[in-house]
Structure 1
Amino acid sequence: MSKNLSLIAIASLTMLTGLARAEADSPAAAATPEHTLTGNLSLNSDYRFRGISQTWKLPALQGGFDYSHASGFYAGTWASNVSGNSYNNGAGLELDLYGGWKFALSQDLTLDIGALAYVYPGAKLNSAPGVATNEKYTNVDANVGLTSGAFNAKLSIAATDYFGLNSTTAGYAYFSSLPARGASKGTSYLDLNYSFDLGNGLTLGTHVGRLSVRHYSELSYTDFKLSLAKEIAGLNWTGALITTDAKRDFYQAGNAAGQNAKKLGNAGLVLSVGKTF
């Protein structure tokens, strides 16, 4: 091989090596981490679950951890303070444990299959004022969700009595007097969400949900949420207007003396500031 051909070969090899390194170093070529662990912490003016206040319309400190695997498997835990006026005889704590699997059905459609357990340490429902039963508020949901772009839909089905509601507890505790009609297992919640990018880091969120309580139709209702979110100074700031059409006589709670009842499902503005790390 001539000297000129050798120089051309060396130059070509050097160029190809440089291109390969550039591609390997580019963000697009970066490998997806096999394991990812994130955390979150927030302070909220109220804790609304499916539109209903869980903290007697008082502030809530919330946080959790999420693990995800490159295969699509995920698991996590999340906690919040709750009101003893709604969750009797307990530690005033909600602890959520969840897991599932996400995978792509197509380029723009993702399926999520999972389960979520809501646990309230020490809390038990009453059968009469001050008379505790052995019935716990623990609730386990099986769920399936679909995500396409800015749209998300999820259907949750209670695999247990819905937060302890059954013939023993229907007459007291979280709900006002109800005729006993058996178990509430199979209660469903349909959760629909769509977000709009307004530019400048501002996001408009819309939500509508429908709770259908099995055997206790009086407790079924629809909830709505309209929110604005923006990251400022490294923190996530959110303001949300939340309301429901839940029957007020059922969704209310008094203080420890059973007085000063608050309507837990009427319209309210919830402010939140949080951080993901």
Structure 2
Amino acid sequence: MKKMLLGCVVGVICSQGTNAGAVALSEDFELIGSVGALSEYSMRGISYTQRKPAIQATATLAHSSGVYAGVWSSNVDINGIDARYEADYFAGYTHQFTDKVGIDLGYIKYTFPKGTILNAGETYAVLNAYGFKLGTYYSDDYYGDQSYIYNYIGYGIKDLPYGIGMDVRYGIADYKDPSFFSQNGSSKDSYREWEVKISKNWMTLDWSASYVDTNLSETECLQFQGDKESCSARMVVGVSKSF
């Protein structure tokens, strides 16, 4: 089964997602997964570990028909939330129309044990065409009853010199109600985020370095995430092992 789109979806979920390997279980089933260590857990431009290291793992059971289901997990550290880890469950369907064009449709359930205010579900649709990625994620139960939509456009190059790959992404996260408050009392219901990621497979490990940033101010970030620097420009590095 083509794994290009699966990697794309998991990559958006965790931002720093790495390429996954595969273990054939039968003629129709395979297990795709990886485990890795990163300088932080960054999702859609915002740090979920207050810029501290994260250990992440994912495993997906995929069928040759394109149907798949899996789990992803990471430690978290969010001010005001008791949860110490996040476990996400997802299922979907991926289809390649050609070698260069495909789609991925599915559902993700985000769970934060002891931090249930963050529990939410999202449906998603991702189009991958000639290296470009267009994705949309929608939820109607963020923070209990807040509707939310995240749209992004990206582009990936996998054959740069020395086996280096590069991915760029620009996304907009839009909430139903104002969620970001400035020092002067103004508010907004959306923010923008972007990432430039360089990756390379070396010594059987997947290495990555990303520049991540958002347009949120320190005050907006502090009131939303509990840490004023979790939305600022920073470098995120990681290493993972696929299986």
AA partner of residue 96 (structure 1): D
Q: For residues 158 and 42 of structure 1, what CA distance do their matches in structure 2 show?
A: 28
Match in the other structure for 1:103: 95
Displacement after TM superposition at 1:205 (Å)? 1.1
Q: Which has the higher strand share?
A: 2
Q: Which protein has greater RCO, CA pairs closer than 8 Å, 6+ apart?
A: 2
Q: Give the CA RMSD over aligned residues.
A: 2.1
Gaps of 5+ in 2: 1-25, 180-187
Q: For residues 230 and 94 of structure 1, what CA distance do their matches in structure 2 show?
A: 27
Q: For residues 216 and 184 of structure 1, what CA distance do their matches in structure 2 show?
A: 10
* Residue 145 (str. 1) matches residue 145 (str. 2): no
Aligned length: 209
SS at 2:105 equivalent: strand
Higher CA-based Rg: 1
Q: Which of 33, 36, 44 is 1:42 aligned to? A: 36
Deviations 1:180-202 (A, max 9, x none): xxx422x1001222112313210
AA partner of residue 200 (structure 1): Y
Deviations 1:143-170 (A, max 9, x none): 111111322111000131x2x16xxxxx
AA partner of residue 239 (structure 2): V
Q: For residues 149 and 224 of structure 2, what CA distance do their matches in structure 1 show?
A: 27
The 5-angstrom pairing of residues 24-43 of structure 1 reads 33-43=27-37
AA partner of residue 34 (structure 2): N
- When the two structures are superposed, what TM-score results if normalisation uses the length of structure 2? 0.80
Deviations 1:43-91 (A, max 9, x none): 00011110000001100000010111000001110100000425x133x
Match in the other structure for 2:195: 225
Q: Which of 54, 62, 68 is 2:56 aligned to? A: 62
* Residue 267 (str. 1) matches residue 237 (str. 2): no
Match in the other structure for 2:82: 89
Deviations 1:9-53 (A, max 9, x none): xxxxxxxxxxxxxxxxxxxxxxx9410102210100011110000
Instruction: Summarize the Cα distance change of 1:245–1:99 in structure 2 as closer, same or farther, 3 Å threshold.
Output: same
Instruction: Summarize the Cα distance change of 1:69–1:199 in structure 2 as closer, same or farther, 3 Å threshold.
Output: same
The 5-angstrom pairing of residues 1-277 of structure 1 reads 33-85=27-79, 88-90=81-83, 92-106=84-98, 108-124=100-116, 136-160=117-141, 162=142, 164=143, 183-185=145-147, 187-196=148-157, 197-216=159-178, 218-252=188-222, 261-277=227-243
Displacement after TM superposition at 1:254 (Å)? 11
Instruction: Summarize the Cα distance change of 1:206–1:139 in structure 2 as closer, same or farther, 3 Å threshold.
Output: same
Displacement after TM superposition at 1:219 (Å)? 4.0
SS at 2:218 equivalent: coil
CA contact (8 A) 1:191 1:207 kept: yes
Q: For residues 203 and 100 of structure 1, what CA distance do their matches in structure 2 show?
A: 26
Match in the other structure for 2:11: none
Deviations 1:192-234 (A, max 9, x none): 2211231321011111111011122624111111111001111
AA partner of residue 202 (structure 1): I
AA partner of residue 229 (structure 2): K
CA contact (8 A) 1:81 1:93 kept: yes
AA partner of residue 158 (structure 1): S
Displacement after TM superposition at 1:253 (Å)? 6.8
Q: For residues 32 and 197 of structure 2, what CA distance do their matches in structure 1 show?
A: 24
Deviations 1:115-160 (A, max 9, x none): 1111001114xxxxxxxxxxx2101111111111322111000131
Q: Which deviates the most, 151-160 or 214-223?
A: 214-223
Q: For residues 149 and 85 of structure 1, what CA distance do their matches in structure 2 show?
A: 41
